[in-house]
Chains A and B, each alone.
Chain A
Amino acid sequence: MESKGSSCKAGSLLLLLVSNMLLCKNVASGPICLNGAVSCEKYIKDLFDHAVMQSHYYHVLSTEMFKEFDRRYTQGRELFIKTFNGCHTSSLPTPEDKEQAQQTHSEDLLNLIHSILLSWNDPLYHLVSEVEGMQEAPGAILSRAIEIEDQNRRLIEGMEKIVSQVYPGAKENHVYSVWSGLSSLRMADEEARISAFYNLLHCLRRDSHKIDNFLKILKCRIAYNNNC
């Protein structure tokens, strides 16, 4: 009898596990709105559409800012390219191509986007103040810096909304990379300083592209069911 009971228990446990596994959401797809509620799906669609619009604009701004800076100060000189040290956000685990991105879980991808955005809060704040302090501070660069700082904040809010809607009850994400390039922005040597700015703007342009790309993947995956 006891064996039967134990086997029953094992069987039920196994059954429970199997059913859990079956109910587990797929990486690539899975209904977010449990009831299939239209308003829920519409809301998620709207959230993603809005976030994508903002991330697209974010990247456009950073591209313009980089190009303006390059035109004014560096002219794409090899010197600056060679001294490129990489970005402070490279420590964050990032897919490197399409396949890797498509294999990353949506939640992880959302958290990654969120982390990148958080990592840029501080540098953008200092970028604005340092650009203001530059001699002949170019208005085009300064205005864009200010606007990018705003965009960063707005995107963080958007991401948090999306996460709360798509993964309600998920653990809050606080992972971000610390930026320590402030000292290099304030260097006395002009070439070193310009180089530091160039680096920063280059990284910003790239990271904004990452954010935009990942959000668009997630949008098509979650809100449009892989059928953009």
Chain B
Amino acid sequence: MKENVASTIACILLLFLHISLLNGESPPGKPEIVSCLSPEKETFTCWWKLGTDGGLPTNYTVYYKKERENITYECPDYTSGGPNSCYFSKKHTSLWKTYVVWMTATNRLGSSASDPYTVEVIYIVVPHPPMNLTLEVKHPKYRKPYLWIEWQPPTIIDVRSGWLTLQYEIRLKPEKAAEWETHFAGQQTKFQILSLHPGLKYFVQVRCKPDHGNWSQWSPENSIQIPSDFPTDDTTMWIFVAVLSAAVCLITIWAMALKGSSMVTCIFPPVPGPKIKGFDTRLLEKGKSEELLSALGCHDFPPTSDCEDLLVEFLEVDDSEEQQLMPANSKEHPSPGVKPTHLDPDSDSGRGSYDSHSLLSEKCEETQASPHTFHTSGLMEKPETPEANITCPQDFQSIPGEGNIHYFDADESKSSTWPLPQPGQHNPRSPYHSIADMCKLAGGPVGPIATLLDKAGQDALKYSKTMATEEEEEKTVEQEVESFFYPKPKQDTVWLLPQEESPLISVKPLDYVEIHKVNKDGELTLLPKQRENSEQTEMSRAPDSSKEYAKVSRVIDNNILVLMPDPRAQNVALFEESIKESPPSLQQNQSEKDLASFPATSSKCKNQQGGLDYLDPTCFMHSFH
């Protein structure tokens, strides 16, 4: 009987199963707990996902166990968290303890259990978004307007007691922008935005994150319209400033490029060339530099010519003992101790532009072979001034390092400087006086000397030109009068003015040698003063090509520059006219050699040997060509 009942029941059950299977009914599928989250670290909610329900009404039950407790609890609240959820209230939430949550789905045919879900509440905190996001464009009194953003933490989170510490992040974008601009706000609940585009509509969102938790969702958007008078970014102003300064720079560069040369001239004035009045080339050639120099008495020092431009280029000899030959624009007398100083080849200053020492010595070397001589030695005596050792060089060949010519030694602190003009004779003229005058003062036979001197002066003038002052220009050059500097009255140098019997001190117009300019190496470019006679016109026709130079043999008495003619190079040809003793071949050789060895010449000009001081016009010439 019992067996029958059991089997019957089994059959019925199978039948039901069969029927339900035929109907598509089955035990429920395995449910799954999807996630558990806590919004404030005081409660938490778990959500599940159902498997198939098997076509039958299914019961779902959530169970959980707490750490180290063997009690199985059932979910206290299935509704508060929404559908398919289990809500654990504060009472049921224990922190710092592991929860194991699982659920079962049961229907008529069976049940199935989910996998256990382990959860620790402190690690599943995901807060709600912040609340009450407010936007406002503020216009403070003495500041630029800005966008003021303020919000509040979610209500349920306890920040006050320090249970949770929140950090915030905001993001904003203009209405039509594609990307958000995110800013981290730390623990503060307000934020300022300073640079916004005026006239645009902005959207703002905020979210929060607890310490050791996860970020919340972004809050709902809040929008604000920026007024049109909102100040623009400072970058616009800076761009404007940059463009303006770039334009100014470009204009400056352009101006400099255009007028670069004149500006450079302004900043670095060129070395003035010496203008020597009364220069006798013959004297130079003869080698009697002393006499020549003594003849170059300058009675007017400094020069006051109307050629203001040339003044800039005047010779300025800066003595190491600070004596100045010819300050460019000074109208004062030189100090008695003025004397030519050594030429400093490296100096770029406009002063000390020639080294009479070196030049003279070099000239001695160079002209040793030169047959051109000024035979003035017999005519010009060595001045008896104890100080001045200037003599007109007798013979170029006879100008060794320590020949009969005593050159002015600039190192000696002697007063062999430009001679002071006589009282009453001091006119604002160039200190370069006629050589003839100097020779006159030096004394000695006038006639032959005068002739020679005349010729020498002419030749000197051919390639030299004094610094023209107004009065100098007015002064006509005596045809046969050489230009010498006025020596000191006390000097006994014989300088003769052939056509004048008056003392040389008179300011008769004489031939002048004009120093065209002095280059940076201190070499003088002397040009003959323009004359009325044909000879000189010939010479003056090519003033540029014939940069004729006078070689300063020495300086006497503070204001006498003794110049010697340079027999070489272009001067050679001219020399030939007047001095027939010059062998052309030698001159040509010399000229060729000079031209060929221009750099060497220049250096030679500067080289000083034997303490001979003179200027080598050749050097100058070469330097100019």
> Are A97 and B160 in contact, with the CB atoms below 8 A?
no
> Are B122 and A226 in contact, with the CB atoms below 8 A?
no
The verdict on B385 contacting chain A, using a C-beta distance below 8 Å, is: no
Question: How close is B161's CB to chain A, nearest CB, in angstroms?
Answer: 6
> Are B162 and A217 in contact, with the CB atoms below 8 A?
yes
Of A159-167, A182-190, A208-216, the one touching chain B: A208-216
The verdict on B67 contacting chain A, using a C-beta distance below 8 Å, is: yes
Contacts of A221 in B (CB 8 A): 161-162
Interface of B, secondary structure class, is loop
Given contacts A56-B211, A206-B120, A209-B212, contact A86 B161 (CB under 8 A): no
> Are B94 and A219 in contact, with the CB atoms below 8 A?
no
The verdict on A151 contacting chain B, using a C-beta distance below 8 Å, is: no
Of B95-103, B174-182, B237-245, B284-292, the one touching chain A: B95-103
For residues 381 through 431 of chain B, which have their beta carbon under 8 Å from a beta carbon of chain A? none
Chain B residue nearest to A219 in the complex (CB): B162
Q: In the complex, A224 Cα to B96 Cα: how many Å?
A: 26
The verdict on B143 contacting chain A, using a C-beta distance below 8 Å, is: no
The verdict on B521 contacting chain A, using a C-beta distance below 8 Å, is: no
Contacts of A102 in B (CB 8 A): 161
> Are A96 and B67 in contact, with the CB atoms below 8 A?
no
The verdict on B306 contacting chain A, using a C-beta distance below 8 Å, is: no
> Are B160 and A227 in contact, with the CB atoms below 8 A?
yes
> Are B98 and A209 in contact, with the CB atoms below 8 A?
no
Contacts of B159 in A (CB 8 A): 228
Chain A contact-residue range equals 20 to 34
Contact of B163 among A60, A98, A209, A210 (CB under 8 A): A98
Q: In the complex, A78 Cα to B161 Cα: how many Å?
A: 36
Given contacts A63-B212, A81-B118, A98-B41, contact A210 B96 (CB under 8 A): yes
> Are B90 and A97 in contact, with the CB atoms below 8 A?
yes
Contacts of B158 in A (CB 8 A): 98
For residues 90 through 142 of chain B, which have their beta carbon under 8 Å from a beta carbon of chain A? 90, 93-98, 116, 118, 120, 122
The verdict on A99 contacting chain B, using a C-beta distance below 8 Å, is: yes
Contacts of A209 in B (CB 8 A): 96, 122, 212
Q: In the complex, A98 Cα to B121 Cα: how many Å?
A: 12
Given contacts A63-B212, A209-B122, contact A220 B162 (CB under 8 A): yes
- Give the number of residue pairs across the A-B interface with Cβ within 8 Å: 66
Contacts of A217 in B (CB 8 A): 161-163
Contacts of A115 in B (CB 8 A): none
Chain A residue nearest to B163 in the complex (CB): A98
> Are A59 and B212 in contact, with the CB atoms below 8 A?
yes
> Are B96 and A206 in contact, with the CB atoms below 8 A?
yes
Contacts of B216 in A (CB 8 A): none
> Binary interface profile of B, 148-161, with partner A (CB < 8 Å = 1, else 0)?
00000000001111
Contacts of A213 in B (CB 8 A): 122, 163
Contacts of A226 in B (CB 8 A): 160-161
> Are A228 and B90 in contact, with the CB atoms below 8 A?
no
Chain A residue nearest to B120 in the complex (CB): A206
Residue from B90, B98, B116, B163 with most neighbouring chain A CB atoms (10 Å): B163
Contacts of B116 in A (CB 8 A): 78
Question: How close is B209's CB to chain A, nearest CB, in angstroms?
Answer: 13
Q: In the complex, A38 Cα to B241 Cα: how many Å?
A: 50
> Binary interface profile of A, 193-226, with partner B (CB < 8 Å = 1, else 0)?
0000000000000100110110011111100101
Contact of A97 among B67, B93, B98 (CB under 8 A): B93
Q: In the complex, A195 Cα to B211 Cα: how many Å?
A: 28
The verdict on B68 contacting chain A, using a C-beta distance below 8 Å, is: yes
> Binary interface profile of A, 98-109, with partner B (CB < 8 Å = 1, else 0)?
110110000000
Question: How close is B518's CB to chain A, nearest CB, in angstroms?
Answer: 79
Contacts of B90 in A (CB 8 A): 97-99
Q: In the complex, A220 Cα to B162 Cα: how many Å?
A: 6
Q: In the complex, A206 Cα to B42 Cα: how many Å?
A: 16
Contacts of A177 in B (CB 8 A): none
Q: In the complex, A84 Cα to B159 Cα: how many Å?
A: 32
> Are A97 and B94 in contact, with the CB atoms below 8 A?
yes
Contacts of B122 in A (CB 8 A): 206, 209, 213
Question: How close is A185's CB to chain B, nearest CB, in angstroms?
Answer: 21
The verdict on A121 contacting chain B, using a C-beta distance below 8 Å, is: no
Given contacts A97-B42, A97-B90, contact A220 B97 (CB under 8 A): no
Q: In the complex, A97 Cα to B121 Cα: how many Å?
A: 10
Could you tell me which A residues sit within 8 Å of B by CB distance? 56, 59-60, 63, 78, 81, 84, 86, 90, 94, 96-99, 101-102, 206, 209-210, 212-213, 216-221, 224, 226-228
Q: 14 A–B contact pairs at CB < 8 A?
A: A59-B212, A63-B212, A78-B116, A97-B94, A97-B95, A98-B158, A102-B161, A210-B96, A219-B162, A220-B160, A221-B161, A227-B160, A228-B160, A228-B162
The 4 closest A-B pairs by CB, nearest first: A220-B162, A216-B162, A96-B94, A228-B162
